[in-house]
Amino acid sequence: MYLLLAAHPHGAALQQVTQAGDPHPNNPEPRLVSAGELAAVVRQLEHRPQGGPPRWIWHRTQDWYPALLASGVDLDRCYDLSLCANILAYSQFTAHTEYAHNAEKITLDDPQQPPRLLQPPPPPAEQGALFDDLGHRAAPRHTVQELRTEYAAQQTALASVSPGENRRNRLQLLLAAESASAMIAAEMQHVGVPWREDLHEQILADYLGPRPPLGHRPAKLEALNTELRRLLDSPALNPDSPQELMRALHRNGIEVKSTRQWELKESSHPAIEPLLAYKKLSRLHTANGWAWLDAWVNNGRFQPEYVVGGVVSGRWASRGGGALQIPRQIRGAVHADPGHKLIVADASQLEPRVLVALAQDSTMAEAARDKDLYAGIAAQGFGGDRAKAKVALLGAIYGATTGESGRLMPQLARTYPRAVGFVEQAARDGEAGGTVTTRLGRSSPPPSERWFQSQQSATAEEQRRADSIARSRGRFTRNFVVQGSAADWAACWLAELRRRLRAMRTDGSVHAELVFFLHDEVMVHAPEAGVEECIRAIEDAANAAKELLFGPIPVEFPVSVAVVDSYDHAK
């Protein structure tokens, strides 16, 4: 069953539709439900005795699912129109469709055109913004008719994708995995990361001293500030002011252009050591100090909002709280509840292994078999020097063509021509203004108009600048296709793991929950008695993700697992 869920002045409207998006012939009219009745109605539909749970179709998962979770209703599956719209609008798999052609010019405000739910975000002005948060505008309220029209348009676009190379199935898998990710994000926000406030307080006290009065520096920061003022002969120095700090450094003959750590370390002045210590502790105090603890941790849980697809490559972002940047200093506060364990698992060397699979490089696949990938590459082509092998391979993925990485690249290319050739072709496509596409069908944003203008050079100086800008875009597309395909794999891993954990809860064997995700790492909070079953679920989900993306290929995607009481012991 496919059920549209839309906002209505009196609560919500539900409409059953076919898979193609037409009104269902047996139940063609929308059903109005009051806000107070919605949770009970959704629960009843989710647990209907025949036919299994419906697939909920809505504008944004975040508009509905958090409130349903708060009412004790969790759902099996959904279709997130906003996330799917952004994929279909840009994917090269759908570039020939009317949906993609109209994506940037049809709006809900145009009465002459059929309504389109969500415009894709404009191409970034700077094409190197692979890791930037795309940002999300506030969602307007859409009627059930508008949602149905949008869903039907998306299904028409999907149906028109060529079945060759399994493209249609791959793109359909991406839309399902992205929608599942949206549900997982809402569920993780609802459950929260287990967090011991007393341990966090103790960590802060150890590093910074006792909790200071509001507006005052902690004792250890104040002591370092006093020392800096003495060593720099600046009695009123505020080291938190970059301008004041730079002036004080220059007055003392420390000729630096910035206060970055690597540049400060080049000076032997006695103020450098306490300054670096101050900056480190100040970051902790500002980013995860007492104010952060008071704002973000409640009832033993850290509950940030995750933004699925918040990065152009498909990686997640977060909104508030720095969920994707839990520093090592405070990981000891991430602590399992009594009788529980944290199972922290990460996909080892995910992006390099994804490159092996994308390029179908059998020689590199053999290097990765039953061993550390970098060690295998080192044994085959770098005289056993693992460090050199790692620098060379990461340089190929990220486009580092100078220094040590550039020097090692020829050897890597001779040993693994398919893998290196794959990323080199992606770079050339980007340099020429083209786009690249991940394994499941997410394509890189097209170049901006400003980018095209930059390539129209007349003088030698303009040509040099144009070449530099083109190479920058080449580095972007080179990494996009690998990082984005790794994000495809991670989305499938998450969705498969969620399905397995839900099955374990349903049959009453283990009540374990996904509580954290970061690119290639998951954290499951599980009862001690269910740890082994959860580990099997994590590993089986990783194998399933590989099969979904690439089929039965001779490339391994191993998962490293740590079972710990606190996050700081995981690595």
What is the pLDDT confidence band of residue 104, given thresholds at 50, 70 and 90? low
Contact 84, 78 (CB under 8 A): no
pLDDT in tens, 341-370: 999 999 989 999 999 999 999 999 998 887
**% of residues, the chain, pLDDT over 70:** 93
Q: How confident is the model at residue 123 (pLDDT cuts 50, 70, 90)?
A: very low
- Going from the C-alpha of 482 to that of each of 138, 287, 444, 467, the distances in angstroms are 31, 31, 11, 23
Element (H, E) at 5: strand 2-8
Q: What is the pLDDT of residues 397-411, one digit of tens each?
A: 988 877 888 889 999
What secondary structure letter does DSSP report for 23? B
CB 142 within 8 A of CB 117: yes
The answer to whether 300 and 537 have CB atoms below 8 angstroms apart is no
170-490-134 Cα angle (round to 5) = 90
Q: Which two tokens stand for residue 335?
A: 């602590």
- Residue 490 token pair: 């991670």
342 vs 148, 261, 513, CA distance in Å?
Answer: 42, 34, 10
Residue 34: other Cβ atoms inside 10 A: 11
Distance between CA atoms of residues 491 and 314, nearest Å:
9
Question: CA nearest 5: which of 109, 161, 146?
Answer: 146
Provide CB contacts within 8 A for 139, sequence distance 6+.
59, 60, 63, 82
Indicate whether 130 pLDDT > 90: no
Per-residue confidence band for 443, with pLDDT thresholds at 50, 70 and 90? very high
First to last CA, the chain: 44
Lookup: tokens for 7: 């906002």
| Residues 502 and 514: beta-carbon distance below 8 Å | no
Task: Give dist(CA 394, CA 377) in Å, integer.
Answer: 12
Q: What contacts 451, CB < 8 A, 6 or more positions away? A: 127, 433, 469, 473
DSSP single-letter state for residue 456: -
- Reference 473, options 430, 444, 429; nearest CA is 430
Q: How many CB atoms lie within 10 A of CB 402?
A: 9
Percent of the chain surpassing pLDDT 90: 77
Give the Cα separation of 203 and 332 in Å (integer).
8
pLDDT in tens, 16-29: 999 999 999 998 89
| pLDDT above 50 (res 311) | yes
For the record, the structure tokens of 567 come out as: 């996050």
Is 90 exceeded by the pLDDT of residue 139? Answer: no
How many CB atoms neighbour CB 453 within 10 A?
11
Above 50 in pLDDT, residue 138? no
Query: Is the pLDDT confidence value at 122 over 50?
Result: no
Q: What type of residue sits at position 36? A: G
Helix (H) or strand (E) holding 288: helix 272-288
Closest CA to 323 of 192, 512, 137, 201: 192
CB-based contact 520:353 (threshold 8 Å):
no
What one-character DSSP code corresponds to residue 550? Answer: H
Pick from 246, 247, 238, 251: nearest CA to 263: 246
* pLDDT given for residue 133 in this prediction: 44
Helices (H), 416-459: 417-431, 449-454
What pLDDT, on a 0 to 100 scale, did the predictor assign at position 120?
A: 36
The mean per-residue pLDDT over the stretch 307-327 comes to: 90
d(CA 433, CA 215): 51
512, 517, 521, 524: CA torsion to nearest 10: -10
The tens digit of pLDDT for each residue in 63-85 reads: 999 999 999 999 999 999 999 99
- Give the model's confidence band at 453: pLDDT under 50 very low, under 70 low, under 90 confident, else very high: confident
**Mean pLDDT of the region 252-276:** 93
Give residue-wise pLDDT tens across range 487-507: 999 999 999 999 999 999 988
HSE, CB side, 13 Å, CA atoms: give it for residue 555.
Answer: 27
Which pLDDT band, with edges at 50, 70 and 90, does 2 fall under? very high
pLDDT at res. 502: 96
Rounded to whole angstroms, how far apart are CA atoms 391 and 405?
6
pLDDT of 296 above 50: yes
The mean pLDDT of the chain is 90
DSSP state string for 344-404: EEEETTHHHHHHHHHHT-HHHHHHHTTS-HHHHHHHHHSTT-HHHHHHHHHHHHHT--SHH
- For range 440-465, the mean pLDDT: 88
pLDDT tens digits along 149-199? 999 999 999 999 998 889 999 999 999 999 999 999 999 999 999 999 999
The helix/strand count (H/E) of the chain reads as: 21, 14
pLDDT at residue 522, as a whole number: 97
The span from the CA of 423 to the CA of 444, in Å, is 14
Report pLDDT digits (tens) over 511-545.
Answer: 999 999 999 999 999 999 999 999 999 999 999 99
Q: Is the pLDDT of residue 136 over 60?
A: no
Look up the pTM and report it. 0.90
Residue type, 432: A
Give the DSSP letter string of 302-318. Answer: E-PEEETT-BTTS--EE
Confidence of residue 108 (pLDDT cuts 50, 70, 90): very low
* Residue 64 or 134, more confident: 64
